[in-house]
Amino acid sequence: MYNLNMPYRLVSPRMLKEAVEQTGVAWAAFLLRQDVGLDIGASAGLEKPGMNRLVQLLKDKDFFNWLVTSIEKDKQRTRKISEPGVSCSELTVFPLYSLQAVLLVGSNGKLAPGVAQFWKFMVHTIEDLTGDSEERTRRLQEVVTELQETQQELQARISAQRDAEMRLVQAAKLAAVGEMSAGVAHELNNPLTTVVGFTELALDSLPVDSPLYADLDLVLREAKRARSVVRRLLDFSRQSESDRNRASLNELVEDVLALTKHLMHTNQVQPAVELENDLPWVVMDRNQIKQVILNLVQNGLYAMPRGGQLTVRTFGRARYERNWVVVQVTDTGVGIPPENLPKIFEPFFTTRSTQGGTGLGLSVTYGIVTDHGGMIEVESQLDQGATFTVWLPLEHEHVAA
């Protein structure tokens, strides 16, 4: 039920005065039906004589029935009037059926279509404002919900666009460096192979106690280390062909954990494994994705020199209107400084240069994942560890709209 006093508060003399001035009519009055007649709730444009005459008219049975019939039939009506006191030649009644009220407009001549439409709009506005409070609340909640959903969709699209732009910039960097790396690697590979081969021959011909043996052995070790870097450069430039088939991500995780089990034990790292059952298979290169997981696990182990916990999870998730399978590696290590987070996937960026780090592991990982149409993300806080999340798309599977 609406508050009977509400229409009086909403339809004020000031509101009617502005409407009269905008439409150029002679006057207007808001009449609310009561048990014994029609009560003038507000008016504008009527001087005191005209107001008195309107009060008298409302007591006239014929005039009263004309107004009430308009309310009951919810129909706009017009009639001529020759009463000099009301300062108009024509009356138009606009019914507010839900309120059992009318807007009575006095004009000199027939209302223009635009003017009549204006007063009809006022009627609808007043009825909306004075309708059932529960219904108004429901409609308002629907509008708020729609606005929130629109805002969330907009934020998701902005976020997706920002991610896409960042991936595009990173891909451009990797492509440029990859092309250079491939050329450098090929140029270095042949002479390094020669150095390794002849050094091994020289070591074979020298006695172990020779003063040159230790020097040549150092040359051999450093040459092999350089050759290892060259291999990583070739991996980074992805010169090898990709062999992709449907495979289980859970199986690859289990294989990597089996390979690194001893390494975790010697580093006092406790593994925690959470693999989602019935995870869909993904079209991927098994060896490349295994390398991705291995790189992330080793990265987590390096971040925990004093031990800790390494958690590996797999799960399915919908994002950006398509379905993905996800592998997530979380360590409890030293974390990544905020200033380094934007750089960690850049080629040759490393914080372990004194420990033999080349800065290619995460770059190779990034390149493999993006080549599979996926995404890789990282979250980290100093002294609280880091989480690397790899998203791999399911082929031709989009979320239903």
Distance CA 353, CA 333 (A): 18
Co-location of 41 and 89 in the same domain = yes
Co-location of 40 and 56 in the same domain = yes
| Structure tokens given for 267 | 């580093």
Co-location of 251 and 310 in the same domain = yes
Q: Indicate whether 3 pLDDT > 50.
A: no
On whether the CB atoms of residues 104 and 26 are closer than 8 A, the answer is no
Query: Of 224, 240, 256, which residue is a domain's last?
Result: 240
Query: Of 223, 240, 257, which residue is a domain's last?
Result: 240
Query: What CATH number has the domain bearing residue 376?
Result: 3.30.565.10
Co-location of 353 and 266 in the same domain = yes
Distance CA 59, CA 85 (A): 16
DSSP 22-86: HHT-SEEEEEEE-SSSEEEEEEES--HHHHHHHHHHHTSHHHHHHHHHHHHHT--EEEE---GGG
Query: What CATH number has the domain bearing residue 106?
Result: 3.30.450.40
Would you give the DSSP letter of residue 336? -
Burial environment of residue 383 by CB neighbours within 10 A (0 to 12, 13 to 18, 19 or more): exposed
Co-location of 314 and 209 in the same domain = no
Q: Write the pLDDT tens digit of every residue in 334-391.
A: 999 988 888 888 766 666 544 545 556 787 788 889 888 899 999 999 989 999 999 9
Co-location of 261 and 211 in the same domain = no
Residue 145 within any structural domain of the chain: no
Residue 325 within any structural domain of the chain: yes
Total tally of structural domains belonging to the chain:
3
Distance CA 319, CA 397 (A): 11
Sign for the pseudo-dihedral over CA of 365, 368, 371, 376: negative
Measure CA of the first residue to CA of the last residue in the chain; give whole Å.
Answer: 40
Region 48-52: mean pLDDT is 89
On whether the CB atoms of residues 236 and 178 are closer than 8 A, the answer is yes
Co-location of 287 and 369 in the same domain = yes
Supply the range of the domain harboring residue 165. 159-240
Q: Which amino acid is at 150?
A: T
Co-location of 265 and 228 in the same domain = no
Co-location of 203 and 222 in the same domain = yes
Query: Of 209, 240, 271, which residue is a domain's last?
Result: 240
Q: Write the pLDDT tens digit of every residue in 150-203.
A: 777 777 777 777 766 666 666 665 555 555 656 666 667 778 888 888 888 888
Co-location of 313 and 331 in the same domain = yes
Least confident of 68-77, 83-92, 173-182, 272-281: 173-182
Co-location of 249 and 363 in the same domain = yes
Q: Write the pLDDT tens digit of every residue in 203-246.
A: 888 888 888 888 888 888 888 877 777 776 666 555 455 678 99
pTM for this entry:
0.46
pLDDT at 143: 61
SS3 content of the chain, % helix, strand, coil (to 5): 55, 20, 25
pLDDT at 140: 59
Q: 11 φ, ψ to 5°? A: -95, 90
- Closest Cα to residue 309, out of 271, 274, 275? 271
Residue 286 within any structural domain of the chain: yes
- Closest Cα to residue 231, out of 179, 203, 189? 189
Co-location of 286 and 170 in the same domain = no
Residue 138 within any structural domain of the chain: no
